[in-house]
Amino acid sequence: MKIDRRSFLGLGLGAAAGVAASPMTWKLTDDISIWTQNWPWTPVPRDGEVTFDNTVCTLCPGNCGISVRKIAGRAVKIEGRGGYPVNDGGVCLHGISALQYLYDPSRIKSPMVKKRDAWKTVSWDEGLALAAEKIKSLRDLGRANTIACVAGSGEGTIAGLYRRLLMAAGSQNFYTMDSMDKTWKMLIAEMHGFDGTAGFDIESSDYLLSFGTGFIEGWGSPVGNFMANSSRKDRNAKLVQVEYRLSSTAAAADQWIPAKPGSEADLALSICSVMITENLYDKDYAEKSGKNFDDFAKLVTEKYAPELITRTTGIDVPKIKSLAAGFARAKAPLAIAGRGRGDAAGSMMEFAAVHALNCLAGNINKKGGFWMTKDADTMIWPSLVMDDAAAKGYAKAAAGPGGSPDRLFDALTSAGEDETPVEMLMVYNANPCHTLHDAGTVRSAIEKIPFVVSFSPYMDDTARLADLVLPTHMFLEMGEDIHGCASSVKKVTALSKPVAGPLFDTRHPGDAVIMLAKAVDGSVRASFPWESYEVAISEVMGDTWDILAKDGYIKCASQPPAFRPGVDFKLLVGYDGPPAPLGDKKKFPLILVEMDHMRLTSGAVASSPFAVKTVPDTILKDNDILVEMNPETARQTGVSPGRMAVVETPVGSARVKVNIFDGIMPGVIAMPGGLGHFGGDNRYIGGKGVNVNELIGPVIDPVSGLDAAWGIRARISRA
Amino acid sequence: MTKDNHGKAYKFGMVIDLDKCTGCGSCMVACMSENNVPFKENETDKKDSLTWMTVYKLTNGKPFPDTDICYMPRPCMHCGGKGDHGHSPCVSVCPATATDYGYDTGIVSQIYTRCFGCRYCMVSCPYHARYFNWWDPKWPPGMEEYLSPDVSPRMRGVVEKCTFCYHRYQEARDRAYYEKRDTIAEDEYQTACTQACPAGAITFGDLNNPDHEVYKLVKPDPHNCGRPRDPKAFRVLERLQTNPKVYYISEREWVRKAGDNYRKGEWDKKNMLTKADGQH
Amino acid sequence: MDSALIPEGARRCPFPVFAAGIAVASAVLLWGVYAMGLVWIKGLNQTNMNDYYGFALWIWADLAVIAIGGGAFFTGLLRYVFGIDELKHIINLAVVIGVICYSSALLILAIDIGQPLRGWFIFWHANVHSMLTEVAFCLSLYFSVLIIEFIPLVLENRQLDKVPFFHNLGHNMHGIMAVFAATGAFLSCFHQGSLGGVAGVLYGRPFAFREGLLIWPWTFFLFTWSAAAYGPCFTLTVCKIFEGVTRKKLVKDNVVDLLAKISGWMIATYIIAKIIDTIYWAGVTVSDMGFSFMHFYSDNAFYGVWILFTEIVICGIVPAILLTVKRFREDKKLLILAIVLGTIGVCINRWVMVLQVVAVPVMSFDTWALYIPSWQEVATTILPIAYGIIVLSLAYRYLPMFPQEQELYDAK
Ligand SMILES: Nc1nc2c(c(=O)[nH]1)N[C@H]1C(S)=C(S)[C@@H](COP(=O)(O)OP(=O)(O)OC[C@H]3O[C@@H](n4cnc5c(=O)[nH]c(N)nc54)[C@H](O)[C@@H]3O)O[C@H]1N2
Ligand SMILES: Nc1nc2c(c(=O)[nH]1)N[C@H]1C(S)=C(S)[C@@H](COP(=O)(O)OP(=O)(O)OC[C@H]3O[C@@H](n4cnc5c(=O)[nH]c(N)nc54)[C@H](O)[C@@H]3O)O[C@H]1N2
Ligand code: SF4
Ligand code: SF4
Ligand code: SF4
Ligand code: SF4
Ligand code: SF4
């Protein structure tokens, strides 16, 4: 056949039409779309049998019961544990996100040693030997007292083991991070002569007078507080929030009292004065069984009458009187101090002034009131073996007095060139380089320590400065005893248990310390007779262990304690106000405060990707942190919304973005806490924003010796 | 099952008590975790951030110290559309029937493998409840381990949104079927956000069932497209006739007013009318 | 060099000059193709669209090119259905513009969707309630019709015409063109309308929503009317650009005048309808939804009443007057001003009906959302322009696009 142009074209067209009409085209079109529905780079989760495992969340002191849903053995979802006394099914966003902490690829996957600023992976034996060698040599040199340890909290058997290691080695330098609980404990001792912990029966109180306490920002046991807050409507209970900023708690409150920052204690005393002058107090408790009541009454009625303090607080007389009436007439009034999330110790005097209200109302150890409970000391530790080196070292005073890490780092900062008060530091469950005030100085102090060991699962702001990291399990991979439910009257002792992994070459923090002690040998080894943490906890917890192992948790009866210690107002008689924030008023006309935000963690663990995702762009925008201020403040300082500005304080400065909010008092600026983490390879939180603790310096409370800072004087200008 | 029982279809809905909501964000995260919602390194561009449940922060617009705020969680409203006939703003516009109205449940579905990403549904939704997968979903290495097989991860280029945790309904329905039951109980099917909310602010259930808590809370008017009869309850943008199945409750008047748009003076007039209505 | 392809007797610029021009346009085209490739490979994250701006620059471009391409169906309707014979002298141009506009629209749609390989689901899983389904069907069908209208012109190329089959085919197609033109006009009326419907049915978007007739919101009719009214403005604008670039008269004044006059009256009637629609919308529709008119034009950095004024007065009433009044229409400068304003006017209308719709806050606590397109969006939007220039240049060079060209040249 002759192929001319015409037939060629004809054939071509025919072929095209044929192909188009053939099933192949349709099949291909279909196949291509099916391919787009099954892109190999879109994961297909594996299916399998569904099981549930219960444990306890330790991401914050709330210690909620959680239930982990597993599919074919792999943890896929965390939910609240129904019926658990703390949270009854509810759960906060951080707890739900815990699987992101578990599967986080930026976790420390094995022990590492820092050599000339570079990390080198080592085995556990090598790592432990290195740490043990250091302890041994310091003991041999008679400098056992220069071994220090900072732990998140002092409760539980794991913290007990770390404390024990220090004692066995011969050092008093064991520190736990400050929190309001420490201050309350001291206050109870001071005013009631009682050794115990404070509890607030929030869920039964019908009138909560809160002095800046962030029930809804994550104070105490967050989920429990949310539940209590929700039940207020049904119980007809009131919440009055004293705060210079319309926080979520203030917004949830029935009444918001925007007293000037720093004047909270004055306001509390003024309410006391009204209660006393108008005879609105519990005479039997406060006056008859109380000590130094008359001096206290004289002080408040003479110096803190409402007329005298409206200027300092900005709250007018009728309002103060109505607060006093409301508080005093309530069936179960409860006054609470401990600002924001209660992460900071706070001022003892401020706590005392607030607590005076509870004492005047007589609502002590009663339903809906303030409870003092004895710490149930159920642990039985075998006696320590202390050799000569240990005894000598232990006889020497701690570097930082009062067990406050602030004082420890203070001592390091102020030590001379040739002094080394701390030769070795161990850090467990704490991130002081991020969470302590004036974090920059803390960092420099830690850099001065010749040998730092971190027991962190994550490359956090402190671990990055360590010389050795001995990575521990994250909480879902381990079991421990939990003594918890911070600040609540519902005391729950629980046993968490491993529900996943371990995914990497990590160890239980209890096992890690036991292994370390054994590697040190001698009397230190002898003080740790257990084979493993599991053996240790079962022996140390004694009878409690058996119940915990069987039931998972023990709930103490939520009945108010039967006894009712008396009150001594002596501390308050010498009241001359809480310590002022750092800084010169002329140079720094504004006050910078940290604001806690429920969607950001502020403790040792940085926020998860999920949590960061929920953070509004009025807090974080790209990598910039936003500072909140009243439109009036912006006008006066000449900064504009959405634009960059520089915040300066006596201890630091930072570039920030400006966010305008009507609900904050003019003259006060607020920065969210929980940002500015190092984060290592974790780009979901690492490097985002600024750590507000770099801008706020510590203020040592003259009474408690703890850090009482809640803010600092500041100025802001256009960047 | 119930589909055959004429008129006995479920009408799942949600009631959110704005006076209880603390803005904590647990519902947002519970949803992301339940439904395999991915995340990016930078999620601060809120107009490009997949959050089926979003918590809005409303303010009353007054200066210090009369300012007030309110948090408003917003899942997909599962709109019944004009006349509550199932022609939701989004369903009626989708050219490929990739989003559909379940007449037996009242749930607006989203079928990712059907969606071809034209985004018309997003444009139609006044609540911004729909989200586009601008990026391939990516999890950091190892984190895919927590993905749930109950909900398929979406591919780039399709729209997704809250499904009222439809897979939980399916599970409950299957269990009921297996146990030869005709209906599913209130507590058998609860969404992940409802379950997680520590404040107990969210209530979920069947708006057709007078025994269910959601019904008692808002008393939907069946002759008025489910309009709430409880004076404290409202729906967002009621006037557009989208007929959402998510209701809100607040004691605060400014919050209820913020739920819709009113011309000058209109709110006061409306309120007087409702007050008058309440007389008889 | 390519003289064998050039219509007999036609005077065209030297090939190298032509090739240079095409090369410049091609460079722009390639830039657009590169951006398009990026979008297809990497996805829509290459754009600055977001969950507020689900529809943005591209959908506007789509609606705009279809509106200004409306000259094709409307001229076809006038010529073949209403039998206005003079218009045969400009119909070829209208058809070529139509082909360019509609193929561009389809291309933009293919870039704009998140899953282009599943684009056909719109036909396979069609939802009859969706205006977009109606658009897709009518658009593709009308595009086929346009191709059918275009083929005879292509077959008139000097070389193709020599092939007897093509010659006969072209001849026969001319014979039945009225049928296609009528079908095309019907289809086009429908999809122009559906495009209006796309916005008008959005009862969750008060700025777009319009009440209407049966299933069609008023925008359905307004879009068709405005495309018919303003489409010819664009056809005439392109014609004038051709005449300017080639420095030749290509279409006789009476033809231009006739089309301009029809366009003028169409704009006049349209703009009256549009004003009534706007007043009803502002006074009744959005008022019932709880909004005031100014809600849509205040509290933001861009959308003010100026845009409505520009659309209706400057680009509506002004061209309507200029084109309907003989004295103005015959003034060359005023004519050009009028047709350019008209073209801009319809583009602004499409802009607001796509972008302002999504920019306006609907929930009382929502905020205005403004957006700036990414370079990839801009490049892919310019792509059709480069492509249009190339196709028009080729068509002009090698096809007898302007039947009066020779006559007008000879007359000179
Ligand atoms: N990556 C990956 N992709 C896949 C597959 C895979 O294995 N991996 N599998 C492929 C296969 S085999 C399939 S079948 C598809 C499944 O793909 P899809 O059909 O998209 O299935 P799902 O994503 O499981 O569920 C889609 C939505 O359907 C809605 N839905 C479910 N049941 C009902 C109902 O009864 N009524 C209404 N109104 N809505 C309902 C729910 O809202 C749910 O969100 O995915 C395909 N794509
Ligand atoms: N939770 C949940 N369950 C679901 C669904 C859901 O969305 N969620 N979707 C449902 C749907 S729509 C579907 S289609 C099913 C799919 O569920 P299945 O039918 O279980 O499909 P797959 O798990 O994809 O593949 C089945 C097995 O086939 C194997 N296989 C692959 N190629 C071949 C081959 O050439 N020969 C043989 N002999 N074996 C091969 C694979 O390795 C795999 O083990 O799941 C259903 N179940
Ligand atoms: S409140 Fe605390 S303990 Fe409870 S889930 Fe959240 S982080 Fe965990
Ligand atoms: S979880 Fe509950 S309280 Fe928290 S934001 Fe959501 S609805 Fe509000
Ligand atoms: S809220 Fe939006 S996405 Fe959900 S049903 Fe209504 S219109 Fe559709
Ligand atoms: S984006 Fe998907 S679901 Fe939305 S309208 Fe388009 S095809 Fe339908
Ligand atoms: S109902 Fe389910 S899908 Fe919807 S917001 Fe809640 S958790 Fe997410």
CATH number, domain at C242? 1.20.1630.10
Q: What is the DSSP string of C283-305?
A: IIIHHHTT--GGGGGSSSSS--H
* Token reading at C229: 């009214």
Q: Are C333 and C8 in contact (CB under 8 A)?
A: no
Lowest mean pLDDT among B61-65, C191-195, C354-358: C191-195
CA distances from A277 to A312, A322, A358, B164 (A): 20, 14, 17, 58
- B182 CB-contact burial (10 Å; exposed 0-12 / middle 13-18 / buried 19+): exposed
Cross-chain residue pair B145–A36, CB shorter than 8 Å: no
Q: What is the DSSP string of C336-363?
A: HHHHHHHHHHHHHHHHIIIIIHHHS--S
If pLDDT is split at 50, 70 and 90, which confidence band does A307 have? very high
| Backbone φ, ψ for residue B174 (5° rounding) | -65, -40
Cross-chain residue pair C364–B261, CB shorter than 8 Å: yes
Ligand 2 centroid to Cα of residue A105, in Å, is: 29
C410 in any annotated domain: no
pLDDT of residue A656: 97
Pocket test for ligand 5, best of B88, B92, B107, B162 (most atoms within 8 A of CB): B88
Q: Please, what is the average pLDDT of chain A?
A: 92
Q: How far apart are CA B45 and CA A83, in angstroms?
A: 39
Q: Of residues A132 and C184, which shows the higher confidence score?
A: A132
C370 in any annotated domain: yes
Ligand 6 centroid to Cα of residue A380, in Å, is: 65
CATH code of the domain covering residue B149: 3.30.70.20
Chains that touch C (3 or more CB pairs under 8 A): A, B
Q: Tell the residue nearest (CA) to atom 19 of ligand 1.
A: B111
Secondary element (H or E) of residue A590: strand A590-595
State mean pLDDT over A51-65.
93
Cross-chain residue pair B198–A612, CB shorter than 8 Å: no
B89 in any annotated domain: yes
Cross-chain residue pair C54–B236, CB shorter than 8 Å: no
Residue B195: strand, helix, or coil:
helix
> At what angle are helices C57-68 and C375-398 packed, to 10 degrees?
20
Asked if pLDDT for residue C223 goes beyond 50, the answer is: yes
Nearest in space to C178 (alpha carbons), one of C201, C140, C144, C149? C149
Q: Which residues pair with B247 in a beta bridge?
A: B15
Kindly report, residue by residue over C378-387, the tens digit of the pLDDT. 999 999 999 9
Q: How far apart are CA A644 and CA A654, in angstroms?
A: 10
pLDDT of residue A463: 96
| Ligand closest to CA C55 | 6
Residue from B34, B43, B62, B255 whose CB has the most chain A CBs within 10 Å, to mutate: B43
C76 in any annotated domain: yes
Secondary element (H or E) of residue C403: none
State mean pLDDT over B210-216.
97
C121 touches chain A (CB under 8 A): yes
> Can you give C138-178 as a three-state secondary structure string?
HHHHHHHHHHHHHHHHHHCCHHHHHCHHHHHHHHHHHHHHH
Rounded to the nearest angstrom, the minimum Cα separation between B107 and chain A is 23
Q: Are C232 and C270 in contact (CB under 8 A)?
A: no
pLDDT of residue B2: 42
C318 in any annotated domain: yes
State mean pLDDT over A681-698.
94
* Token reading at A600: 């950001």
State mean pLDDT over C69-76.
88
State mean pLDDT over B182-191.
94
Q: Are A111 and A505 in contact (CB under 8 A)?
A: yes
- What atom of ligand 1 comes closest to residue B163's alpha carbon? 42
Q: Are A704 and A186 in contact (CB under 8 A)?
A: yes
pLDDT of residue C163: 86
* Token reading at B280: 């008889």
Distance of CA A680 to the CA centre of its chain: 20
Q: Are A672 and A595 in contact (CB under 8 A)?
A: yes
If pLDDT is split at 50, 70 and 90, which confidence band does B51 have? very high
Kindly report, residue by residue over A339-364, the tens digit of the pLDDT. 888 778 889 999 999 999 999 999 99
pLDDT of residue C6: 86
State mean pLDDT over C287-300.
95
C23 touches chain A (CB under 8 A): no
Asked if pLDDT for residue A227 goes beyond 70, the answer is: yes
Residues in chain C: 412
**Please, what is the end-to-end C-alpha distance for chain A in angstroms?**
83
Q: Are C293 and C357 in contact (CB under 8 A)?
A: no
Question: Beta strand pairing status for A451-454 and A238-242?
Answer: unpaired
Cross-chain residue pair B140–A47, CB shorter than 8 Å: no
Ligand 7 centroid to Cα of residue B101, in Å, is: 17
Taking CA–CA distances from C361, the nearest residue in chain B reads B126
Asked if pLDDT for residue A435 goes beyond 70, the answer is: yes
pLDDT of residue B8: 66
Q: How far apart are CA C184 and CA B275, in angstroms?
A: 58
B26 in any annotated domain: yes
Q: Are B172 and B189 in contact (CB under 8 A)?
A: yes
> Can you give A502-529 as a three-state secondary structure string?
CCCCCECHHHHHHHHHHHHCHHHHHCCC
Asked if pLDDT for residue B182 goes beyond 70, the answer is: yes
* Token reading at A630: 């009243």
Q: How far apart are CA B213 and CA B14, in angstroms?
A: 10
pLDDT of residue A417: 81
- A259 CB-contact burial (10 Å; exposed 0-12 / middle 13-18 / buried 19+): buried
Q: How far apart are CA B79 and CA A679, in angstroms?
A: 42
Residues ≥6 apart with Cβ < 8 Å to A12:
none
C118 touches chain A (CB under 8 A): yes
Question: Is B90 a pocket residue for ligand 5 (Cβ < 6 Å)?
Answer: yes
Q: Are B260 and B238 in contact (CB under 8 A)?
A: yes
**Cβ of A570: how many Cβ atoms within 10 Å?**
13
Question: Beta strand pairing status for C212-213 and C216-217?
Answer: antiparallel
Q: Are A317 and A307 in contact (CB under 8 A)?
A: yes
Nearest in space to B49 (alpha carbons), one of A350, A168, A612? A612
Rounded to the nearest angstrom, the minimum Cα separation between A273 and chain C is 44
CA distances from C226 to B78, C87, C182, C219 (A): 36, 20, 19, 10
For residue B251, is it left (φ>0), alpha (ψ between -120 and 50) or beta? alpha
Kindly report, residue by residue over A582-635, the tens digit of the pLDDT. 999 999 999 999 998 899 998 778 999 999 999 999 999 999 999 999 999 999
Dihedral (C-alpha) A465, A470, A474, A477: value to the nearest 10 degrees?
Answer: 170
Asked if pLDDT for residue A572 goes beyond 70, the answer is: yes
Q: How far apart are CA A471 and CA A455, in angstroms?
A: 5
- B159 CB-contact burial (10 Å; exposed 0-12 / middle 13-18 / buried 19+): buried
Ligand 2 centroid to Cα of residue B151, in Å, is: 15
**Cβ of C172: how many Cβ atoms within 10 Å?**
11
Question: Is A223 a pocket residue for ligand 3 (Cβ < 6 Å)?
Answer: yes
Domain range for B250: 12-279
C216 in any annotated domain: yes
| Backbone φ, ψ for residue A362 (5° rounding) | 70, 15
Q: How far apart are CA A241 and CA A216, in angstroms?
A: 11
* Token reading at A153: 């909290």
Q: How far apart are CA B140 and CA A100, in angstroms?
A: 10
- What atom of ligand 3 comes closest to residue A95's alpha carbon? 5
Q: Is A590-718 a domain of CATH 3.30.465.10? A: no
**Cβ of B38: how many Cβ atoms within 10 Å?**
20
Peptide bond into A502 cis (omega under 30): yes
Cross-chain residue pair C118–A35, CB shorter than 8 Å: no
Supply the pTM of this predicted model: 0.90
Specify the DSSP class assigned to residue C80.
I
Question: Is B115 a pocket residue for ligand 6 (Cβ < 6 Å)?
Answer: yes
The dihedral built from the CA positions of residue B263, B267, B268 and B272, taken in this order, carries a sign that is positive
State mean pLDDT over A100-122.
95
Kindly report, residue by residue over A407-417, the tens digit of the pLDDT. 999 999 998 88
**Chain C positions in Cβ-Cβ contact with residue B110 (cut-off 8 Å):** none
Ligand 2 centroid to Cα of residue A37, in Å, is: 15
B145 in any annotated domain: yes
* Token reading at C333: 């400068």
**Please, what is the end-to-end C-alpha distance for chain B in angstroms?**
40
Kindly report, residue by residue over A474-507, the tens digit of the pLDDT. 999 999 999 876 677 888 899 999 999 899 999 9
**Chain A positions in Cβ-Cβ contact with residue B18 (cut-off 8 Å):** none
Q: Which residue type does B230 have?
A: D
If pLDDT is split at 50, 70 and 90, which confidence band does A8 have? low
- What atom of ligand 7 comes closest to residue B163's alpha carbon? 3
Rounded to the nearest angstrom, the minimum Cα separation between B203 and chain C is 23
Among B47, B134, B158, the residue with its CB nearest the CB of C52 is: B47
Domain count, chain B: 1
Kindly report, residue by residue over A387-408, the tens digit of the pLDDT. 999 999 999 999 988 888 999 9
* Token reading at C116: 């282009």
Secondary element (H or E) of residue B44: none
Secondary element (H or E) of residue A697: none
For chain B, give the longest Cα–Cα distance: 64
Domain count, chain C: 1
Q: How far apart are CA A33 and CA B157, in angstroms?
A: 13
| Rg over CA atoms, chain A | 29
Instruction: List chain A domain ranges.
Output: 202-368+563-573, 590-718
Q: Strand order of the sheet with strand A118-121?
A: A118-121, A112-115, A468-469, A451-454, A424-428, A147-151, A174-176
Q: Are A492 and A556 in contact (CB under 8 A)?
A: yes
Distance of CA A152 to the CA centre of its chain: 9
A34 touches chain C (CB under 8 A): no
**Cβ of C12: how many Cβ atoms within 10 Å?**
16
Kindly report, residue by residue over C92-106, the tens digit of the pLDDT. 899 999 999 999 999
Nearest in space to A217 (alpha carbons), one of A668, A674, A579? A674
Percent of chain A scored above 90 by pLDDT?
76
Q: Are A266 and A312 in contact (CB under 8 A)?
A: yes
Cross-chain residue pair C165–A6, CB shorter than 8 Å: yes
CATH architecture, domain defined by A202-368+563-573: 3-Layer(aba) Sandwich (3.40)
State mean pLDDT over B38-44.
96
pLDDT of residue B6: 42
Ligand 4 centroid to Cα of residue B73, in Å, is: 7
State mean pLDDT over A628-653.
96
pLDDT of residue B278: 41
State mean pLDDT over C194-206.
94
pLDDT of residue B3: 44
Question: Is B36 a pocket residue for ligand 7 (Cβ < 6 Å)?
Answer: no
Ligand 6 centroid to Cα of residue B160, in Å, is: 9
**Chain A positions in Cβ-Cβ contact with residue B31 (cut-off 8 Å):** none
Asked if pLDDT for residue B112 goes beyond 90, the answer is: yes
Question: Is B99 a pocket residue for ligand 5 (Cβ < 6 Å)?
Answer: no
Kindly report, residue by residue over A534-567, the tens digit of the pLDDT. 999 999 998 889 999 988 898 876 788 888 899 9
A35 touches chain C (CB under 8 A): yes
Q: Are C371 and B45 in contact (CB under 8 A)?
A: no
Q: Are A89 and B194 in contact (CB under 8 A)?
A: no
Domain range for C64: 15-403
Q: Tell the residue nearest (CA) to atom 2 of ligand 4.
A: B197
B5 in any annotated domain: no
